[in-house]
Structure 1
Amino acid sequence: MRTLHARPHAWKLREPFAIARGVRSEARVVIVELHEDGLVGRGEAGGIAYQGETPESMLAQIEQLR
């Protein structure tokens, strides 16, 4: 049986990251685990902020595919 687990997560950055659009002190991502037949695959992704992607919008897209 295949199961999918997805959750938001925020990684604290060691130092603030600054570019022209602003300063960030954490990286907001979605962590995904796929389990099947005793095997586990893991991955993470951060959205493209200037395209309006957030961890919440990415989780909503994952839920639409279930």
Structure 2
Amino acid sequence: MSTVCHGFLGVIVVSGDEKTQSKVEQAKGKVKETAGRTVGNERLEAEGRAEQAKGDARQAKEKIKDVFKH
């Protein structure tokens, strides 16, 4: 089940599925980083990199869980 929310950078999908959530975080982070770089906002750029890292960590966690499922 997914919920659609409207946020600062457009539509955000909030999902219970961790793999989907990691992809959403990575994509949202990339948008923030690019927007920050485009307008010269270092804080937004840093937030984007941090959000991408959070998505990467969530994705790594899911991959580890998948290894132990099989």
Query: Given the two structures, how large is their TM-score scaled by the length of structure 1?
Result: 0.30
Q: Higher helix fraction: Structure 1 or Structure 2?
A: 2
